[in-house]
Copies of this chain bind each other. A is one copy, B any other.
Amino acid sequence: MPPMNPAIRALIAPRSIAILGASNDLQKLNGRTLKFLMDKGYAGKIYPVNPKYEHISHPGGELRCYPTVGDIPDAVDMAIITVPARFVIDQVRALGRKGVPAAIIYSSGFGEMGAQGHALEDELVAAAREGGVRLCGPNCLGLVNSFDRVIATFSQYGSGEVLEGPVGFVTQSGAFGSAIATLARRRHLGLGYFVNTGNECDATLVEIMDEVLADPRIRVGCGYIEGFKDGAGLLALAERALEAGKPIVVTKVGRSQAGARAAASHTGSLAGEDRVFDGLARQFGIIRARNEEHMLDMVDVLAHCELPEGNGIGLVTQSGGAGVLIADRAEELGLSLPTLSDETQAKLREVLPAFGSGANPVDVTAQFIAEPEILLNGLRLTLADPAVHVGIVWILSMDAYAGMLVDLFRTVKSETRKPFVLCWVAASEQALKLCREAGIPVLRGAEPAVDAVAGLIGYAQARRTWLADRTARASVALPELSLPAPGVVGTVEAARLLASCGVASAPVALAGDADAAVEAATGLGWPVAVKIESPDILHKTEADGVRLGLADAAAVRAAAEAVLAAAKAFDADARIDGVVVQKMAGGHVEFVIGLKNDPSFGPVLMAGLGGILVEVMKDVAFRRCPVTPSEAGAMLDELRGRAILSGARGKPPVDRAALVELLCAVSRFGAAAGPRLEELDLNPVLLSTDGAVAVDCVMVLR
């Protein structure tokens, strides 16, 4: 991935740093950064700025301190602002005058402090724009770039060991982000970058992640996210990252209503619906972690493994019990523990002890401690089996044998491109360190190991699909729509608009009165449905405004008169356009297709099985518009009730191809309507063995 933005580059990899408000007390919050930079060997120039001092001393030497940033004789790449909130804007203006492209603002007292703070933050952003300074923060812990020893933070994290590594971590939360970074360090998992974006008044997590991933030393990006300021940007980043093969793993909180409320009160940002993000993450190959440990587990595996070519797990274990737990979890996650080939099993029988097992799980028993060849050959043979794509090895502590074991794993790693991970329960510090040096991921337990491997397999699959879908994506053509005025769109007009995108609806006509309804029905062909048509009645059934299966003129006449009367009774003030007459469509499965405009991501497509499954079980899938046929198919496969589409309960399968095409067509409408779209609800869509057709439609435009 190419670098995107020189100012953001200067922010995360500055060649020189000014510290505004630097203190000569290196223990204090505004003195600490200078100490960290000196201690850890930052190679660039450091310019303390504070009119109180002429010099600042450090065990490593003495630095000249400047009264203002304007007094610094050289160019400055990045500034760190540590002064109280009320002085920050002046400092940013000074940076603008000096031509400093980027700054980190530690100071709090902005958007997180209510209305007054928001006003101050708006002023800050205006000053930054005017002066051409990009900002990280305010109210942030700063950042660490381990490669260049940029320890631009006041967090105690900065005092610990700097571990270079292939992971770029960007977090919207300071304290929780520090917790995650500390856990990564405990695992000896090197964070090349660790950036806290704080209030994100200017530079967003997405922009910074983009620049972090542009560093060729970074193999995996991970993020802690509370809300999106730039949903479209995230998806664009995800696309570039997929092309480049750099996985992005995120912990996004606010997935429950309580969590979303807590996030809103904490960050002040309004969250979109979590399930929408979930669907889009699948679509764009963003790997979603449940929590910080799950994220680090997946990062560890993604940073150190080749991508597997399938979902077959070969499990080598010293405990039958652990094997069962792993088999349980693998099945829950849709992974397989394939039976090994007869050839593999025969070879395994030669190397395993008599009481071991050569099936999958392959039980090498504790005997391998005395005879390491058992484990070495057991793992080799398991990985060599054609049905195995990823190996998991479960072992227990054995501190005394760590060196021997890691040598053995290193040997296997050097022989094969097939990835394998260790599930090393109660591994010693030394074992963890040795594994890290050998580039072998280590997970702490059986379930975390399977979960992490599922992330690896899922990412490999998502990337394969994405790359294979290039042509399909490029060939999606959006029609030019001539959209009517905002508000509810009439049924006939809506059907016409949808048809222009290729959406199949049952033929429909508007009739002003009962006579016209009979005439319309005759034109459409029998039987028909008659429904009230009013911009003020969106839920027609509630107003008793629907009559189905009308087979002759008398029935249509009676129905039209009845629904017109019912509508009047329901709401005397409702504007009534007449009735729509629609040809009855057949189908044995009800489906629901919808569009909505997500506040972060724009038009998104929703799909679900009608009735209980949508309304009670909330069994729906989301994707951003437009979708390709393979993306539409993935939505169907995601539904928990998907068996119904294949023909459950004695019924035939539905016409999946027609449904997929209908989903694509609706998504084209969503993409073409863009910001004008408020919502579209096709409910029900009737699915039969040879077709899929929408029979009711509510379309609202902005």
Contact = CB atoms under 8 A, between A and B. Distances in A.
Contacts of A174: 319, 321
A290 B447 contact: yes
A398 B175 CA distance: 12
Contacts of A330: 256, 258
A94 to B, nearest CB: 26
A262 B324 contact: yes
Interface stretch (A431-439, A622-630, A639-647): A639-647
A179 B322 contact: yes
Nearest to A259: B328
Given A258-B330, A648-B616, A324 B226 contact: yes
A84 to B, nearest CB: 13
A266 B362 CA distance: 11
Interface residues of A, number: 83
Contact of A175 (B186, B293, B322): B322
Contacts of A359: 265
Contacts of A251: 325
Contacts of A266: 320-321, 323-324, 357, 363
Interface in A584-635: 611-613, 615-617
Interface in A232-261: 251, 253-259, 261
A425 B182 contact: yes
A175 B262 contact: no
Given A259-B327, A291-B445, A321 B265 contact: no
Contacts of A113: 354-355
Nearest to A447: B291
A172 interface: yes
A425 B183 contact: yes
A536 interface: no
Nearest to A643: B616
Nearest to A336: B258
A366 B155 CA distance: 11
A361 B262 contact: yes
Interface in A632-675: 640-641, 643-644, 648-650
A292 B266 CA distance: 34
Interface in A435-462: 444-447
Contacts of A226: 321, 324
A123 to B, nearest CB: 19
Contact of A258 (B112, B327, B648): B327
A365 to B, nearest CB: 8
13 contacts: A113-B355, A176-B325, A177-B321, A179-B319, A179-B425, A179-B426, A255-B332, A258-B337, A259-B324, A266-B323, A266-B324, A612-B641, A613-B617
Given A176-B322, A255-B332, A258-B330, 10 more contacts: A108-B355, A182-B396, A182-B426, A253-B328, A259-B324, A266-B320, A266-B357, A292-B425, A612-B613, A615-B648
Interface of A: 108-109, 112-113, 156, 171-179, 182-183, 186, 224, 226, 251, 253-259, 261-263, 265-267, 290-293, 318-325, 327-332, 336-337, 354-355, 357, 359, 361, 363, 366, 396-398, 425-426, 444-447, 541, 611-613, 615-617, 640-641, 643-644, 648-650
Which are the 3 A-B pairs with shortest beta-carbon distances?
A173-B321, A175-B319, A259-B328
